Structure 1
């Protein structure tokens, strides 16, 4: 009997490619565009695996994690995001995700992360051999301070000692590569 794979992401191109790749690998695949749709699908057919986008229209993918875990305590959950930071990684793992990957990620990387041993540390296989760049460290620090101030841009800018508009410009950019 084929295992069920739920993809929760609001990017149609990404979900089309990932769903096709997972179907080729033998999974029965479903795609949901938001948390509400994903929960409806999961209640009809409980998934064995799920890939959940962090930032979507409506509630964050983090809101879905405990609900999926309640439906299937053995589900393997992965959080994917284009806005990776240490703070969001910690939030995802605390919410009950088994692993976390920054986008872009391909089907092989996603399966490897989902099928990692439950006792291993999240992201064990993805630890870089080289230190983070200064720009990436700055991005991580901004994300940490932003998280500490619950997303408040003004409070974060004050805490960082920078102008609010400067912070907004930095946040509008995609995360810097390692």
Structure 2
């Protein structure tokens, strides 16, 4: 039985994840605060970790390197409600094994954790096509990330008004 540590500040969502993953043979533990996450990793020595990117006021990305340093073979999957190419690249560079946007279905979780049947691991071409709004949002977030979150400089580089950029950043695009 694989040990799974769920680091998620939303207690209800973490409980739902734990229930779903337990049905697929995982022994699940939960941590709801960033300051307890590293201690739980060292104590429990999980095989896999589901890590939320936003943990209350903390950033889950900052936990990837210390977790990877203490548990080099652990499978780390970053979960986020506000996925972007920029944060996905950043997560992978820091050492995450996978990056999934919420809401996430059980099959996607199993695939990311390496527990899905082999036939299910091949993604369909249709699932990779993004809408124009999504592509624009991804590009904006990539430029914003390269400017270290500076909205004014990002707006100048993209040739748009700062308020327009702020409105676009507040809208979460649909996944397709």
Q: Are 2:155 and 1:157 equivalent residues in the alignment?
A: yes
Distance 1:133 1:16, change over 3 A: same
Q: How does 1:1-12 map to 2 (within 5 A)?
A: 2-12=1-11
d(CA) in 2 for partners of 1:149, 1:124? 35
Q: Look up the match of 1:66.
A: 65
CA RMSD of aligned residues (A): 2.1
Distance 1:130 1:89, change over 3 A: closer
d(CA) in 2 for partners of 1:175, 1:39? 32
TM-score normalised by the chain length of structure 1: 0.87
8 Å contact kept, 2:79–2:102: yes
d(CA) in 2 for partners of 1:90, 1:74? 20
Q: Look up the match of 2:28.
A: 29
Query: Alpha-carbon deviations, 1:91-146, whole Å to 9, x = none?
Result: 111010111111110232112112179xxxxx973764663221111111111111
d(CA) in 1 for partners of 2:135, 2:84? 10
d(CA) in 1 for partners of 2:155, 2:65? 32
Match of 2:137 among 132, 136, 139: 139
Q: Look up the match of 1:83.
A: 82
Query: Alpha-carbon deviations, 1:137-156, whole Å to 9, x = none?
Result: 11111111111111111111
TM-score normalised by the chain length of structure 2: 0.88
Tell me, which stretches of 5 or more residues in structure 1 are unaligned?
Answer: 118-122
Instruction: Describe the SS at the equivalent of 2:51.
Output: strand
Q: Look up the match of 1:125.
A: 123
Q: Look up the match of 2:16.
A: 17
d(CA) in 2 for partners of 1:144, 1:152? 12
User: How many residues of Structure 1 are paired with residues of Structure 2 in the alignment?
Assistant: 172
Instruction: Describe the SS at the equivalent of 2:78.
Output: strand
d(CA) in 1 for partners of 2:99, 2:153? 28
Distance 1:166 1:15, change over 3 A: same
d(CA) in 2 for partners of 1:126, 1:31? 32
8 Å contact kept, 1:66–1:96: yes
